[in-house]
Amino acid sequence: ETGVTQTPRHLVMGMTNKKSLKCEQHLGHNAMYWYKQSAKKPLELMFVYNFKEQTENNSVPSRFSPECPNSSHLFLHLHTLQPEDSALYLCASSQDETGPTNEKLFFGSGTQLSVL
Amino acid sequence: EDQVTQSPEALRLQEGESSSLNCSYTVSGLRGLFWYRQDPGKGPEFLFTLYSAGEEKEKERLKATLTKKESFLHITAPKPEDSATYLCAVSSNSGYALNFGKGTSLLVTP
C-alpha cells in the first residue's frame, strides 16, 4: 500500500468515550502532522512530529493527545470530547532534510469524527 | 497576523470555459505560497509551490502565478474532472504553521 492511510474513515463517539485515530505513512517521510478541518473553516494545524519528536503543539486542548511511536505511525487519542470537536481530522507527512517545513504535504483521506 | 482570503467561494463553469481563482494574502515575510486540490471525501493533494513574485508554475490545464499580494490559479479549458475544492496556503517568517484559506469550490459541468 502506498501513500498515507488513516483509520477509521468515520467515527461516532459520545462525550465520555475514549477513542484513537490511526495514521500510517508508506512514503519514508520523516515528519508527520495532524490537521483539523471544520466546515466553512480553514485547515488548522494541531501537532507536528519530526523523527518521532513532537516539534509543534498549536495550542490544542489536552483532550487531544498525540502519539508517534516511530516515523511511520501517528496516533491521535481522544477523550471527553465536545460536540464542537466534530470535524474531519487529517494526517499528513513530508520529507524535509532540515526538519519539518510544513510545506509539500501528503495527506491521508481523513477521519470524519462526530461527537454526540 | 497572517491572513489568506480566497475568492470566489464557489465557481460554476461550463466545460471549456476558462477562468481564474484568486488567493490574496497578508503576511510578514512570505516563505512560500501553496496550492492544493481537495476532492470530496479525500485529503488535499499538493499542486504547486511558489516562492517569489513573478514566478509561474504549470500542470496540465492549471497555471499558478504569484504577485506580492496575491496568487491566481488559472484554469484553461476545464473538464468535469477538474471539479474539486482548491485550497491556497502560505508559510511566513512570523510562524511555523501553514495558513490555509477557506478554499474555492469549483464545479465544471459538461
Convert the pLDDT of each residue in A74-94 to its tens digit.
Answer: 999 999 999 999 999 999 998
Query: Closest residue of B to A99, CA-based?
Result: B96
Residues of B in contact with A4 (CB under 8 A): 43
The residue-averaged pLDDT of A35-59 equals 85
Split at pLDDT 50, 70, 90, the class of B59 is: very high
CB atoms within 10 A of CB B23: 26
Please say whether the beta carbons of B96 and A56 come within 8 A: yes
How many whole angstroms separate alpha carbon A28 and alpha carbon A3? Answer: 10
The burial class, CB within 10 Å (0-12 / 13-18 / 19+), for A76 is buried
Kindly state the average pLDDT of the residues A57-65. Answer: 88
Q: What is the DSSP string of B68-92?
A: SSEEEEEE-S--GGG-EEEEEEEEE
Looking at every residue in chain A, the average pLDDT score rounds to 89
Torsion of CA B29, B35, B41, B43, to 10 degrees: -60
Q: Which of B4, B32, B99 sits opposite A103 (nearest CB)?
A: B32
Q: Which residue has the higher pLDDT, B2 or B15?
A: B15
Q: What is the mean pLDDT of residues A13-19?
A: 90
For residue B53, pLDDT beyond 70: yes
A45, closest residue in chain B (CA to CA): B97
Please state, for a pLDDT cut of 70, what percent of chain B lies above it. 98
Residue B78 to residue A18: CA distance in whole angstroms? 45
> Is residue A58's pLDDT more than 60?
yes
